[in-house]
Amino acid sequence: MKYQAPRGTHDQIPPGSVAWKRLQTVADRVFPLYGMLPLETPVFEHTDLFTRSLGEETDIVSKEMYTFQDRKGRSLTLRPEGTASAVRAYLQGRLGEQGFDRFYYFGPMFRYERPQAGRTRQFYQIGVELFGDAGPSSDVEVIESLHRFCHELGLRGLVVQLNSVGCPECRGRYVATLKSQLAGCTDDLCELCRHRLNRNPLRILDCKKAACRERYQSLPLLTSHLCGPCQEHFQGVQAGLTSMEVPFRLEPWLVRGLDYYTRTAFEVTSEHLGAQDALGGGGRYDLLVEQFGGPPTPAVGFAAGVERLLMVLEKTAPEPASPHERSVYAAALGDRAAAEVMGLSRRLRDAGIPCLVDTGPGSLKKKLKLSSKLGCRATLIVGDDEVEARRVLVKDMGTGEQELIDLEGVVNCLKEKA
């Protein structure tokens, strides 16, 4: 083969692409239940949009962005996440003024990461953003919508990990405490933590290294440093999730990778994913709209990784063996039969029955073999004799039974069996 897809990318090809499409269909059913409307933004944006909002010191901005200059020398970046673009579109389209304040999106994101299982350089996210409501109920709605979406997909036993990262005031006080408590012992920390302690201190808390984790066990918790209003909000979110029957666990070490988060931070993980175990995550970003030049507008959202959702689904709720299990295979033997089969296929599709037409050359045996290989539920066979008798031979590919059915009645008969 001359060409391969670039490292860290992959094609969505059958049979997996069927589950992929089904996921989008479930999203199109679930998120509108919350009044969320679809939002599509360009896959590239001005680089500034991301550097300013995500934070210069974040992994994404410091080493993972696909940034390039266009022919006029403008710096553009393939979007590494969806929230910054959603906020831009919300403001640029003056959506808030029209009362549109809740959205969902589905699209590719790009990060230059080291590819491994569950981590690629182009991946898809499905995300949700809610603008304008500062109360804990909108956090609960966002989290509950992710929970419902996963449930409708067929995922079970997921638990939401929940934390609060406070507001700039109480978080600032906490970071000062953190720094002073670690001041004398930075030599014990890993290199990354030492770097982060100066540049992005909160991120040390989610270091995966055992030695660092142990050292941090004795540190005070961020949640015990929350100011009154942040504490009250956090309690409200917990009470809301409990009453909506969304299982959650407090995870005091959870801090999200990006600078823009305030108060609620959450993640959904799965034990079926190995090292890259996060299915999705999100939180509140009450200051971002204003930072983009808009009016003060609280907001909350999440993004989930489509490939990871599909990986878990594959392990826990396998798709049917054949993507064609609802289809019938309509095989014509000869030219007269071909015209008949074309007419029949039209009527089948009118009735909502997927139909694969085979009017090509080849023996009956060959056509039956193909139908069986594709996993179609039935094969319809029309030859000269059948055209003459106005009948179709219908072979049930599951039981192997054959039956001659009136050409006029075949659609109803297949519909009943569907």
Q: Point out which residues bind ligand AMP (CB under 6 A).
A: 81, 111, 113, 118-120, 123, 125, 257, 278-281, 303-305, 307-308
Q: Smallest gap, in angstroms, from Cβ of residue 62 to ligand AMP?
A: 14
CB 197 within 8 A of CB 186: yes
Q: Which is nearer to ligand AMP, 82 or 323 (CB)?
A: 82
Q: Smallest gap, in angstroms, from Cβ of residue 210 to ligand AMP?
A: 23
Q: Which is nearer to ligand AMP, 120 or 327 (CB)?
A: 120
CA distance linking residue 418 with residue 407, whole number of Å: 18
Q: Smallest gap, in angstroms, from Cβ of residue 279 to ligand AMP?
A: 5
CA distance linking residue 306 with residue 126, whole number of Å: 7
Consecutive H or E run containing 180: helix 168-182
| Close Cβ partners of 413 (under 8 Å, ≥ 6 residues apart) | 394, 405
CA distance linking residue 109 with residue 82, whole number of Å: 8
Q: Which is nearer to ligand AMP, 106 or 123 (CB)?
A: 123
Q: Smallest gap, in angstroms, from Cβ of residue 53 to ligand AMP?
A: 13
- In the β-sheet with 44-46, what is the strand arrangement from edge to edge? 44-46, 75-78, 66-69
CA distance linking residue 10 with residue 4, whole number of Å: 9
Q: Smallest gap, in angstroms, from Cβ of residue 102 to ligand AMP?
A: 19
Q: Which is nearer to ligand AMP, 277 or 325 (CB)?
A: 277
CB 155 within 8 A of CB 316: yes
| Close Cβ partners of 352 (under 8 Å, ≥ 6 residues apart) | 415
| Close Cβ partners of 76 (under 8 Å, ≥ 6 residues apart) | 44, 45, 46, 47, 67, 68, 69, 70
Closest chain position to ligand AMP (CB): 305
Q: Smallest gap, in angstroms, from Cβ of residue 135 to ligand AMP?
A: 23
Q: Which is nearer to ligand AMP, 104 or 123 (CB)?
A: 123
Q: Smallest gap, in angstroms, from Cβ of residue 86 to ligand AMP?
A: 12
Q: Taken in order 17, 20, 26, 27, is the CA torsion positive or negative?
A: negative
Q: Smallest gap, in angstroms, from Cβ of residue 390 to ligand AMP?
A: 55
CA 298, 300, 301: angle at the middle one, nearest 5? 150
Q: Smallest gap, in angstroms, from Cβ of residue 33 to ligand AMP?
A: 22
Q: Taken in order 83, 86, 91, 94, is the CA torsion positive or negative?
A: negative
Q: Which of 109-147 are b and which e, b meaning 16 or more Cβ less than 10 Å from the residue's Cβ? A: bbbebeeeebbbbbbbbbbbbbbebbebebbbbbbbbbb
Q: Which is nearer to ligand AMP, 50 or 329 (CB)?
A: 50
Q: Which is nearer to ligand AMP, 270 or 297 (CB)?
A: 270
Single-letter amino acid, residue 181: Q
| Close Cβ partners of 403 (under 8 Å, ≥ 6 residues apart) | 393, 394, 396
Q: Which is nearer to ligand AMP, 156 or 417 (CB)?
A: 156
Q: Which is nearer to ligand AMP, 304 or 407 (CB)?
A: 304
